[in-house]
Amino acid sequence: MAGAVKTAREALAAWLTYLEQERRASPRTVRAYGDCVGAYIVFLEQHQGGALSLPGLAEVSGGDLRAYLAFRRGGEKGLGPRSVSQALSAIRAFHRWLDRRLDTPNAAVTLVRGPRLPQGVPRPVSEDQANGLIEEAGFDSDLPEWEIARDGALITLLWGCGLRISEALSLTLADTPLGETVRITGKGGKTRLVPVLPVVREAIAGYAAAQPFALGPKDVLFRAPRGGPYSPRHAQALMQRLRGRLGLPDSATPHALRHSFATHLLGAGADLRAIQELLGHASLSTTQRYADVDAAGLLAAYSKAHPHA
């Protein structure tokens, strides 16, 4: 491949093909990476006044990359720290691939540090709030029965199994009826087995029996009103509708149910390593955030209950 690739733009096209065909990245991910690295290459070409060759990518200096990041931060529509960090991550991934596949290393790029980001604290919903969301989904008289079953099943699945919304919506008809565990493919193509509670199995079985569409085994299970795949945007709208009825904060999102799964397990005495495996976290430090949330909750309860508080 190295001999066929002569320019930076050809290298980008080859990398995106690799992401799509070998890494099985989603079209959205491929498009986002292409936009990030494509803008980077355009900046470098404008900076040097001409097309950028493949060897030229090996000669990009740390100063060049820092100048690009500064350029993206500037202006009226400048990127925020998190978006700049994501752009830098995509560029580093591109250069790592250049090193491995096209023998075009660049050590200077790996030394550039991104902006410091504040560590976000998970904001779960309480057990009562999660139960309230499930119950409220069952009282939507304006919807057909199968949609009511779908909404309740999705919320029960997210809270009961701690799935990312993309993982939940990737379930197919072939996955039903759910057994005691379900095999989930998460970020980076990592596969894990997640235990399934009886209440989750019952909710999914009820929805699968009620949905009116003729689905094949490989078709995704959750469907929108007109029969198309149910999307994360649909799930966000569902949670927005339900939290509005219950008076919950804007932080009550589909992902908040995953946070709740972790914090409620931790509060019940589950081991942090076990929770890491259930969530599919690559690093224990990511799961550690839930211990901080649980400790904060215990302190708040202590402050309310202790006579000297």
Catalytic residues: 164, 187, 255, 258, 281, 290
CA atoms of 261 and 252, how far apart (whole Å)? 13
Question: Which two three-digit tokens encode residue 7?
Answer: 């320019």
Q: Which helix (H) or strand (E) holds 197?
A: none
Cα separation, 176 vs 241, in Å, equals 28
Q: Does residue 242 contact residue 139 with C-beta atoms inside 8 Å?
A: no
DSSP notation for 59-99 = T--HHHHHHHHHHHH-STTPPPHHHHHHHHHHHHHHHHHHH
**DSSP type of residue 227:** S
ω into residue 177 within 30 of 0, thus cis?
yes
Contacts of 24 (CB under 8 A, 6+ apart): 189
Cβ 207 vs Cβ 149: under 8 Å: yes
